[in-house]
Amino acid sequence: MNVKTINITVNGMPFFVHEGTTVLEAAKLVNVKIPTLCYHPDLPAWAACGICVVKVEGSPKMFRACSTPVEEGMSIITHDPEIVDVRRTVIELILSTHPNDCLQCLRNQNCELQRLAADFGIREMPFEYNINQIPVDDSTPSLILNPEKCVKCGRCVKVCQGMQNVWALEFLGRGESTRIAPAGDVLLAESPCIKCGQCSAHCPVGAIYEKDETQKVWKALQDPTKHCVVQIAPAVRVALGEAFGLEPGTLVTNKAYAALRRLGFKGIFDTNFGADLTIMEEGSEFVERFVHGKGELPLITSCCPAWVDYLEKYYHDLIPLFSTAKSPQAMVGALSKTYYADKSGIDCKNIFMVSIMPCTAKKYEIVRSESMYSSGCQDIDVSITTRELSRMIKSAGIDFLNLPDEDADAPLGIYTGAGTIFGATGGVMEAALRTAYFLVTGQELKNVDLTDVRGIEGIKEARIRMAGKEVRVAVAHQMGNIEKVLDLVREAKVKGKELPWHFIEVMACRGGCIGGGGQPYGATDEIRKKRLAGIYKDDTLSKIRCSHQNPAIKQLYAEFLGKPLSHKSHELLHTKYTPRPLYTR
Amino acid sequence: MAFKSYVLVCGGTACQSSKSEEIYKNFIAELEAAGIKDEVQVVKTGCFGLCEKGPIAKVLPDESFYVKLTPSDTKEIVSEHLVKGRPVKKLLYQGEETKKLAKIEEIGFYQKQFRIVLRNCGVINPEDINEYIARDGYAALEKVLFQMTPEQVIEQLKISGLRGRGGAGFPTWLKWNFTKEVNDFPKYIVCNADEGDPGAYMDRSTLEGDPHSILEAMTIAGKTIGSNKGYIYIRAEYPLAIHRLEVAIQQARELGLLGKDILGSGFDFDIEIRLGAGAFVCGEETALLTSIEGERGMPKPRPPFPAVKGLWQKPTVINNVETWASIPVIILKGGAWFANIGTEKSKGTKVFALTGKIKNSGLVEVPMGTTLREIIYDIGGGIINDKKFKAVQTGGPSGGVITADYLDTPIDYENLQKLGSIMGSGGMIVMDEDDCMVDIAKFYLGFTVDESCGKCAPCRVGGRQLLDYLEKISKGKGTREDIAKMKQIGNAMKRASLCGLGQTAPNPVLSTITYFEKEYLAHIDDKICPAGKCKALITYSILPEKCIGCGLCARRCPVNCITGEKRQPHVIDQSACIKCGECYSVCKFGAVARK
Amino acid sequence: MAKMTLEELQKLRETKKRELEKREVTGKDIEIIVGMATCGIAAGARQTLSAFLNELEAQNLSNVLVRQTGCMGYCYAEPTVEIHMPGMPDIIYGKVDPETAVKIVRKHILGKVLINDHILDKPAADIMKK
């Protein structure tokens, strides 16, 4: 494609940019930072806040840099006393509607509005405060809406409706009573919300956030009758470091183990072990359906709880296609209170299982159905996000960066490269194919790097031959991309046409779990790519890269479960799905 | 059988709300009873404009102008005037100036008007396409379909100098030309009939009185820029206009003036009506288009402009009702004819909705360049009770006040802007010495705060802050610093708001501060409201030396806070007084003082 | 109504224009005023008025305004009709029956010839000028 170049100047500095570049992007190219609040690189410019205004020579107006495309010969002024004055007034106006309780806010020191106020050197509030008092919505187990802090930037609405195609959040009211809430003014729990938490990850302030459950964890850690164990999800290890100033994608697996041990956990497990186990169960399920024709195709992955929620709400006619295998988190949870409990001789009632997840929906998953109590206790007691863990580490005074590297505890802490890539979009598919190939053909795959399913593309496809048959797979991430895939499947089913794919992986968040709603703030594609690179580095560094080769998994089947899809496996490691209404009221 | 007389009954919303429908039916019944129903035709027309005097009926060919009719008046008009040829003098319009019975052309209200947009209002039956056709209706469309190239149409628009009547005055031909030049189909034609300025109703009246002119103009635009589909976005609060439009669209379709292959030209065009829920912001074009698409009506950043990416991201011409209504005339009479009317930069005529403290409130259409004095005094008949003129607000809540010093300014887009106001949709609210400027600013700000969509921070938050300062000042609690802050906020709103609503919302405040700073300072420094409007700053008291103890004020006081013996001076209990001013206005002896 | 062609629209416009022009006052330089008081009506003024209107239509005259007025005081000569037109003196005719009305249109208005046997008077000067 031919892209036209355009001559512009920014603050007198002439240069070329591609046609279609916005003023904001163009300024960035010459290291001029135009302040923004509502703008987010993931989203189309909504142009709500009015902070990014600039002047264009020859026009009496001010333009919003986020949404104004450059034009040939444009001479842009990004900073002059008048512009800064207008920006400051707008920020002051926004502050006049925002509670002045930064010190008590969970976004303290991590808030985009606070940063703007600091950058503009705002030292006093010239206007009267005018704060809408609206009750907090804490109806879901995952997310809290605090409309009082909302700055109406619209990011959450655009994420929920656009990126995620969920349509739980909407603008309600008008003018100064505009607020963000589920459409129809129901509670979030009564709405189509799938708890993916992308709204919270995109919120610039403390208006939407994860339900903080660190106090529950602290309490358990201090309770002498509780034997606290913990598992850490694949995507956490490439993002947790960001909270301590490390580059996105830095692998901090072993420092995280060390930190958890110092927090007081007695058993340090890894969700990656559960991922390997999921592959054994789900891979076997695929072989059953694909080779033996027992069950419907395409098989669709089910380890993402937000996706499970979405399917149960929007596509429940496709429930038979869903893998019944539980998510890795749930498998580790169930085993920690059965297999581990047996081995260590501790009553499951006294074991307190905490999961560290990149995800807010995992908080919902641990109570979503009866099968989450398969051990006879609640399999996972608390699920906290990467963000919550980072706060715990900080408040415990642990010098994270200087911790020694430590290992997790066997057997539930032993994992392969296949387990770790669960944290990336395409990772579950890649891991499953590595093992399915072995299960179908009896041979190991020569090149385990299935790069077709990797990367940030919204929908990816691949074909692989197994025992003379072609397996067609699709991978979709970011909920808004799944509709296209599922509609094709549905159409093929209804019309009796050939299935477009045999196996489909879905993850609700952009980039997969590494871009999860519970990850450190500020994710953009740039950061997501770094985190992805970290995940694949972990895979490459692993000595064992296929789940079925994990010795701890082999031992588990030998000692406890028998074989994949055994009766015991079904009891502990599989679940059921049920259609759910979009609105419960 | 030919008719000997015609009764034109105003069927506009204002007259209908004072029973013109009943009057219309009574005329028919009375004529039937008098046995002359075949000799007199009763026509329900659009608005005559002089709404102050409604309901109105005009009898032709005698040109008798009956005003303030009641349904029972029809009997006398039929038996006296229509049967016996004797106009009923007591029901005729009495010229205020001359106290003489006036024929329509002698009425000052109409003398200085020049009707292009309202050419058919009050003249034809808007529900009969034949009457529109008889008044050269659809002749412009004929010309465009069979004689003119799209380039020629745009050239005529360019020559005419027509500028958008919705507010900012963007040249119409440019808009059309941008859309025409974009090679992206389908394209759309949109009529903005989401009139929302307080007191403005010219669009409603045009649609009610002459719906076909809009349909014809939109079809002309369709042919010119290459669109086959038009939408009229009209607020649901205009049921009569919607009904007339529906009837008009139906009739035009039946005659093949809308639909496939119009008049055998091979050109297809059809129009659909979309109802708005009455949000003021939906009059902003990007918000309007978003609303047609079925989304929440919130403005979007421009560019891209609707001409390039409008409805459903396709090139769209969007004009308001008044602009559309001017177009068939321009095509028919030529751009040069139109350009002869008006000023150098603002051509043609403009319809104003004249309201407030004015004798003849109503709709007036005047050539651009007419002065405010002519409109207010010659057409509007001056201030009610001959009080002193103080200011006039043009452009509704987006405009500003213009003071007596500028009454001789010829009205056009540029001049109004220079004075800190805007043309806007053409609302014109006249204020007299009893109006408090802080109160006026508060009124408009209250409106824009209510109607802000809430999307962009400067408007959403700034509007509320301004309103709070105004309230503070009107309570006597303001400081001089507050004025500086209001200017600061107002400037930020002007510069950083996304759409016209927010950018112009501070105008009423900024312009009243500019022209009436003393009045603000009186509230702030002296804690008085010179106009006696701001309740917190006024007290009513009874002057014992003037009070004769008649007790009228005490009887009228709604909270019974006035007491006193008969024939003795009365007293107001200040702790109970709600400052309604009833005592002040009923006292015949000037014994109630307002401070 | 069926869909129209260009020609049909133009024809329709011409017809409707003539109908509507009757309502209009401007551009009409000939005025026929029929006395329509009780005395006039009793003497058949209504039929006279109709006759005028029908004949004007038949002759396709669009520049003639027909008004009615009250009693002119010539009750003995009703129906009375007053004619104003350029190039002719202002005249009041008396005893104008429908037949005479037709004659007035044809002779007085079109032929510019007075119909002597019906001339009653000239209008009084004070009511001639508005």
Convert the pLDDT of each residue in B241-287 to its tens digit. 999 999 999 999 999 999 999 999 999 999 999 999 888 899 899 99
What average pLDDT does the structure give for chain A? Answer: 95
Cα distance between residue B226 and residue A471, in whole Å: 50
pLDDT band at B555 (very low <50, low <70, confident <90, very high): very high
Asked if residue A570 lies in contact with residue A284, where contact means CB atoms within 8 angstroms, the answer is no
Is the pLDDT confidence value at A29 over 50? Answer: yes
**Residue keyed to tokens 């004689």:** B147
A270 with A229, same domain?
A: yes
CA Rg value for chain A = 25
Query: What would the pLDDT profile of A226-273 be if each residue is shown by its tens digit?
Result: 999 999 999 999 999 999 999 999 999 999 999 999 999 999 999 999
A386 with A511, same domain?
A: yes
A242 as an active site residue: the answer is no
Q: Among all residues of chain B, which has the CA nearest to that of A63?
A: B496
Q: Residue B575 half-sphere exposure, CB side, CA atoms within 13 Å?
A: 0
Q: CA of A508, closest CA in chain B: separation in Å?
A: 25
Q: Picking from A326-335, B294-303, B452-461, which range would have the lowest pLDDT averaged per residue?
A: B294-303
Cα distance between residue B191 and residue B207, in whole Å: 11
Query: What would the pLDDT profile of A358-407 be if each residue is shown by its tens digit?
Result: 999 999 999 999 999 999 999 999 999 999 999 999 999 999 999 999 99
Residues of A in contact with B451 (CB under 8 A): 174-175
Cα distance between residue B366 and residue A46, in whole Å: 41
* Inter-helix orientation angle B517-524/B507-515, to 10°: 90
Residues sharing a CB contact under 8 Å with residue B178, sequence separation 6 or more, in sequence order: B305, B307, B308, B315
Other C-beta atoms lying within 10 Å of the C-beta of residue B435: 20
Q: CA of C106, closest CA in chain B: separation in Å?
A: 18
Is the pLDDT confidence value at C107 over 90? Answer: no
Helices assigned H by DSSP within A240-385: 253-263, 271-290, 305-314, 328-336, 339-344, 361-365
Other C-beta atoms lying within 10 Å of the C-beta of residue B395: 25
All chains having 3 or more CB pairs closer than 8 angstroms to chain A: B
A427 part of a folded domain: yes
Within 62-101 of C, beta carbons closer than 8 Å to B belong to 65-70
A279 with A173, same domain?
A: no
Other C-beta atoms lying within 10 Å of the C-beta of residue A499: 14
% of chain A exceeding 90 in pLDDT:
95
* Chain A contact for B451 (CB, 8 A cutoff): yes
Q: Among all residues of chain B, which has the CA nearest to that of A155?
A: B455
A136 part of a folded domain: no
Is the pLDDT confidence value at B355 over 70? Answer: yes
Identify the residue with better confidence: A561 or B361: A561
A291 with A338, same domain?
A: yes
Query: What would the pLDDT profile of A147-177 be if each residue is shown by its tens digit?
Result: 999 999 999 999 999 999 999 999 999 999 9
pLDDT band at C49 (very low <50, low <70, confident <90, very high): confident
A401 with A515, same domain?
A: yes
Joined together, the tokens standing for residue C71 give 């009693």
Class of domain C28-128: alpha beta
Within 40-59 of A, beta carbons closer than 8 Å to B belong to 45-51, 53
Q: Residue B292 half-sphere exposure, CB side, CA atoms within 13 Å?
A: 27
A544 part of a folded domain: yes
pLDDT at A212 (0 to 100):
96
% of chain A exceeding 70 in pLDDT:
99
Asked if residue B443 lies in contact with residue B411, where contact means CB atoms within 8 angstroms, the answer is no
Q: Which of A156, A303, A304, A546 is catalytic?
A: A303
Asked if residue A489 lies in contact with residue A501, where contact means CB atoms within 8 angstroms, the answer is yes
Residues of B in contact with A127 (CB under 8 A): 465, 485, 489
User: Do residue A171 and residue B296 have CB atoms under 8 angstroms apart?
Assistant: yes
Q: Which of A365, A388, A430, A505 is catalytic?
A: A365
A282 as an active site residue: the answer is yes
Cα distance between residue A300 and residue A291, in whole Å: 16
Identify the residue with better confidence: A584 or A159: A159
Is the pLDDT confidence value at A1 over 60? Answer: no
DSSP-derived pairing of the beta strands B57-60 and B5-10: antiparallel
pLDDT at A505 (0 to 100):
97
pLDDT at A316 (0 to 100):
92
pLDDT band at B106 (very low <50, low <70, confident <90, very high): low
Write down the domain spans for chain C.
Answer: 28-128
Cα distance between residue B530 and residue B520, in whole Å: 10
**Residue keyed to tokens 């009041």:** C92
Interface test mutation site (partner A, options B449, B461, B475, max chain A beta carbons within 10 A): B461
* Section B338-364 average pLDDT: 92
Q: Which of A370, A495, A498, A543 is catalytic?
A: A370
A321 with A172, same domain?
A: no
A252 with A174, same domain?
A: no
Torsion of CA A120, A125, A131, A135, to 10 degrees: 70
Joined together, the tokens standing for residue B370 give 């007419």
* Chain B contact for A67 (CB, 8 A cutoff): yes
A196 with A277, same domain?
A: no
Is the pLDDT confidence value at B98 over 90? Answer: no
pLDDT at B456 (0 to 100):
93
A581 part of a folded domain: no
Q: CA of C113, closest CA in chain B: separation in Å?
A: 25
pLDDT at B104 (0 to 100):
60
* A&B contacts, CB < 8 Å: 106
In terms of average pLDDT, the best of A327-341, B36-50, B554-568 is: A327-341
* Section A100-107 average pLDDT: 94
Q: What's phi and psi for A145, nearest 5 deg?
A: -100, 120
A71 as an active site residue: the answer is no
Which of B135, B136, B146 lies nearest to residue C6, judging by beta carbons? B146
Is the Cα torsion angle B506, B509, B511, B514 positive or negative in sign? negative
User: Do residue B134 and residue C17 have CB atoms under 8 angstroms apart?
Assistant: yes
A405 with A485, same domain?
A: yes
For the purposes of burial, counting CB atoms within 10 Å of the CB of B22, is it exposed (0-12), middle (13-18) or buried (19 or more)? Answer: middle
* Section B109-124 average pLDDT: 86
How far is the CA of A347 from the CAs of A559, B133, C54, C69, in angstroms?
A: 19, 93, 112, 114
Q: Among all residues of chain C, which has the CA nearest to that of B88?
A: C70
pLDDT at B96 (0 to 100):
55
A513 as an active site residue: the answer is yes
A362 as an active site residue: the answer is yes
pLDDT at B358 (0 to 100):
93
Q: Among all residues of chain B, which has the CA nearest to that of A179?
A: B454
Query: What would the pLDDT profile of A70-81 be if each residue is shown by its tens digit?
Result: 999 999 999 999
Establish whether this prediction's ipTM goes over 0.85. Answer: yes
Q: Which of A112, A210, A282, A388 is catalytic?
A: A282
Which among A64, A79, A94 is the end of a domain?
A79
User: Do residue B124 and residue C12 have CB atoms under 8 angstroms apart?
Assistant: no
Amino acid occupying residue A222: Q
Nearest 5 degrees, angle CA C26-CA C32-CA C38? 125
Which among A188, A214, A240 is the end of a domain?
A214
% of chain B exceeding 90 in pLDDT:
73
Interface test mutation site (partner B, options C1, C4, C48, max chain B beta carbons within 10 A): C4
pLDDT at B87 (0 to 100):
84
A253 with A194, same domain?
A: no
Within 481-520 of B, beta carbons closer than 8 Å to A belong to 485, 488-489, 491-492, 495-498
pLDDT at C84 (0 to 100):
86
CA A444 to chain CA mean position, Å: 32
* Section A190-208 average pLDDT: 96
pLDDT at C130 (0 to 100):
38
- CATH at A544: 3.40.50.1780
Which of B451, B454, B496 lies nearest to residue A53, judging by beta carbons? B496
pLDDT at B3 (0 to 100):
81
Q: Which of A190, A285, A430, A505 is catalytic?
A: A285
User: Do residue B85 and residue C35 have CB atoms under 8 angstroms apart?
Assistant: yes
pLDDT at C128 (0 to 100):
45
Identify the residue with better confidence: B101 or C56: C56
Based on the structure, what is the number of domains in chain A?
3
Query: What would the pLDDT profile of B70-80 be if each residue is shown by its tens digit?
Result: 999 999 999 88
A156 with A295, same domain?
A: no
A134 part of a folded domain: no
Annotate C7-32 with b (16+ C-beta within 10 A) or e (fewer).
eebeebbeebbebbebbeeeebebbb
- Tell me which residue range forms the domain holding A72: 5-79
A285 as an active site residue: the answer is yes
Domains and CATH numbers, chain B: 5-106 (3.40.30.10), 129-339 (3.40.50.11540), 349-432 (3.10.20.600), 437-524 (1.20.1440.230), 539-594 (3.30.70.20)
Cα distance between residue C49 and residue C66, in whole Å: 8
Q: Among all residues of chain B, which has the CA nearest to that of A20?
A: B304
Which of C3, C53, C65 lies nearest to residue B2, judging by beta carbons? C53
Asked if residue A301 lies in contact with residue A323, where contact means CB atoms within 8 angstroms, the answer is yes
CA A500 to chain CA mean position, Å: 27
A170 with A59, same domain?
A: no
* Chain B contact for C43 (CB, 8 A cutoff): no
Query: What would the pLDDT profile of B371-387 be if each residue is shown by its tens digit?
Result: 999 999 999 989 999 99
User: Do residue B3 and residue C22 have CB atoms under 8 angstroms apart?
Assistant: yes
Q: CA of A71, closest CA in chain B: separation in Å?
A: 11
